[in-house]
Structure 1
Amino acid sequence: MAIIAVFDVPGGTQAQYEQVCDKLSGGNGVLTSLSDAPEPGLLSHIAGPTPTGWLVVEAWESEQAFQRFGQKLAPFLEEAGMPDLEPKVYQAFNVVTD
């Protein structure tokens, strides 16, 4: 079942986001296509600034796919200065991809 992962990062910056994306992509910068995702199963990725930091919202085809991604993500978050970042994860009711 699909899930929604919400990363709300108080104090997070675009520079940190770009640093993490660059590491995840093997030096290719931010995602420009779902096929660029470092783990299969990503359905949607949205990121942007908030009044207090940075927000990333993703949809994944399953919690297992998201957990595999999280194992790759964790060291890069720590390196970027966001070691204790815990996303909120919700079951998706409806996911539209095209």
Structure 2
Amino acid sequence: MTIIATFEFPDTTRDQYEEAVDRLTGGAGLNAPSDWPVRGLVVHVAGPIPEGGWHVTDVWESREAFEHFAAVLMPILQEVGIPTAPPLIREVQYVVR
């Protein structure tokens, strides 16, 4: 089942976010879901939080795809100094593309 994963990263800068993306994509940047190092990403949205920090919401084809991605992501977040906390994960009934 499709899931949505929402992350809140307090005290995280745009530079830290972009460094994490560069490491995830081998420096290619994020131009399409196929640029992520694992399959299954439907959409990725990210931006600053008004109180300071960074917000990320991803839609994944399945919880398994997300968990595979998380195994790659978490060490990278630690390397670039982004505080890690478990995301809020919810099942999705409908995805309109």
Taking structure 1 as the reference length, the TM-score comes to 0.92
| AA aligned opposite 2:40 | G
| Cross-structure match for 1:6 | 6
8 Å Cα contact 2:9/2:83 also seen in 1: no
SS in 2 for 1:96: coil
Paired with 1:37 and 1:56, the residues of 2 have a C-alpha distance of 14
Residue 20 (structure 1) aligns with: 20
Structure 1, unpaired ranges of 5+:
none
Q: How far off its partner does 1:5 sit?
A: 0.3
Q: What runs of 5+ residues in structure 2 fail to find an aligned partner?
A: none
Measure, in 1, the Cα distance between the counterparts of 2:34 and 2:23. Answer: 16
* In 1: Cα distance, 2:12 partner to 2:84 partner: 12
The structural deviation recorded for 1:83 is 4.4
One-letter identity of the residue aligned with 2:8: D
Percent sequence identity is 46
Quick one: which amino acid aligns to residue 66 of structure 1?
Answer: F
Aligned pairs, number: 96
Do the aligned partners of 2:42 and 2:60 also contact (CA within 8 Å) in 1? Answer: yes
Q: Tell which deviates more after alignment, 88-97 or 57-66.
A: 88-97
Is the 8 Å Cα contact of residues 43 and 60 (structure 1) preserved in structure 2?
yes
**Structure 1 residue 46: Cα displacement:** 0.4
Equivalent runs, 1:45-84 vs 2, <5 Å = 45-52=44-51, 53-84=53-84
RMSD: 1.1
CA contact (8 A) 2:3 2:91 kept: yes
Q: Say whether the 8 Å CA contact 1:4–1:60 is kept in structure 2.
A: yes
Q: Does 1:32 align with 2:31?
A: yes
1:86 aligns to what SS in structure 2?
A: coil
User: Counterparts of 1:13 and 1:73 in 2: how far apart (Å)?
Assistant: 17
